[in-house]
Amino acid sequence: MWHDFDAIPDAAGPRQGLGSMLVRLYHDIGLAAVADALGLTTADVEDDLARSVERGRPYLPAPEPAGLAA
């Protein structure tokens, strides 16, 4: 069941404890990181994946401004 991401509850669904929320959050952040690394937009993926990516994007670090990277 840990690898069955369809079993992760949606944000609007009933919460079943902190663990299930963290699993979904980490899943969304990971999907957003992969989508950014591959240069994918939400238009390039299915609706449920696009929602996960949008939920995870705010947790990604902001890109360094040009010229300020060490």
Q: What percent of the chain has pLDDT over 90?
A: 44
CB atoms within 10 A of CB 56: 22
In this prediction, residue 66 carries a pLDDT of: 72
Q: CA geometry: angle at 8 spanning 7 and 9, to 5°?
A: 110
What is the rounded average pLDDT of the residues 34-60? Answer: 92
Alpha-carbon distance of 48 to 46, in angstroms, equals 6
User: 14-27: per-residue pLDDT in tens?
Assistant: 556 667 788 899 99
* pTM summary value: 0.64
